[in-house]
Amino acid sequence: MRNKQIKVIYFSFGGSDVREISLNWKKIILISSTVFTILIFLVSVVVGLTTDFFHNWQISHLSKANTQLTNLLDDMTRRVSILESQVQNLEKEDNDLRIFVDLPQIDSDVRKLGIGGQSLAAYGNIAAIPEDSRTEALHIKNLLDNLEQRIQIASESRNEIIDKYSQDLKQIKHTPSICPVVNGRYTDRFGYRLDPLLDKVRPHHGLDIAAARGTPIHSSADGVVTLVVEKYRPNYGYGKLVEIDHGYGVKTRYAHLNAILVKENQKITRHTIIGHVGDTGRSTGPHVHYEVLVEGKPVNPEHYILD
């Protein structure tokens, strides 16, 4: 076996001479080893060059990505700064509105109190991100967490303001504020007076407003008619009377009417015509006796008439 040789015969179809090469096993092994070594070398060179290329490409790619990330963080910082300014204006308006509706102010430390949230690690592996960028990202995240908290507080405060304003508006509508007779003339005011029929000083629990018979009488606020008195004794008491409950412990009475235009349990609004001026009951001439009662006690009606 060792003495055997391999002959390689090669020739050209173009008419050249036939040639042959004789190879023994030692030469074959040597040639094979040499070819294999050369292939290993070439593969190593190719792999090395390829590795360096991809390594340099990766470094270049990461550098470009880092630059883009830095620019993105800078832009986010700028936008967060704008949001901060807008939230400050929102909080100032919120404080002004709370003053307007008589609500206590929210302390600025409460508004700016930070809230806990996820760390940056919760968003994945961030070890590849440069430390400066991680620090900036954490700063931006903390600012956003704080802004989220402040916006939430402002939103809750705005709902509180709306509720309070709606409540106040309802109370305002139900608070007497106008003279029930347009262009009427005050003849007797609230307090002690000389009774024109008895010639004695007696308390007068309302405001007498003189006007021509048949002059419209208006409700001074929103409310519900709780009492209508049509029957009366001449020269005695209130005569024809309307009483309105405005809620919040406030009622009004309109006495000596000539005609009544409303019914009990009827809901009415401010300026609703409830009747006409007359002189029914204990009266010396056409007028309306107007009373305002708070928690059942008469108070000066002029305090509930706005100029």
Report the run of H or E that residue 210 belongs to, with start and end.
strand 207-210
Q: Which amino acid, 186?
A: Y
What's the pLDDT tens digit per position in 153-168?
888 999 999 999 898 8
pLDDT at 80 over 70: yes
Q: Which amino acid, 81?
A: S
Half-sphere exposure of 254 toward its Cβ, with a 13 Å CA cutoff?
31
pTM above 0.85, yes or no: no
What's the pLDDT tens digit per position in 280-301?
998 889 999 999 999 999 999 9
- Residues of the chain with pLDDT > 90, as a percent, come to 37
pLDDT at 59 over 80: no
**pLDDT (0 to 100) of residue 64:** 67
**pLDDT (0 to 100) of residue 281:** 92
What's the pLDDT tens digit per position in 231-272?
988 878 899 999 999 999 999 999 999 999 999 999 999 999
Between 40 and 178, where is the model more confident? Answer: 178
What's the pLDDT tens digit per position in 194-215?
666 666 677 888 999 999 999 9
Task: Quote the CA–CA distance of 258 and 211 in Å, as a whole number.
Answer: 12
The CATH number of 185-304 is which of 3.30.360.10, 3.20.20.300, 2.70.70.10, 1.10.357.10?
Answer: 2.70.70.10
What's the pLDDT tens digit per position in 126-149?
555 666 666 777 777 778 888 888
Q: Which range, of 105-114, 126-135, 184-193, averages the lowest pLDDT?
A: 126-135
Task: Quote the CA–CA distance of 137 and 115 in Å, as a whole number.
Answer: 17
Domain segments of the chain as ranges? 5-73, 74-173, 185-304
Please check whether residue 255 is in contact with residue 243, taking contact to mean a CB–CB distance below 8 angstroms: no
| Buried/exposed 110-129: b ≥16 CB within 10 Å, e otherwise | ebeeeeeeeeeeeeeeeeeb
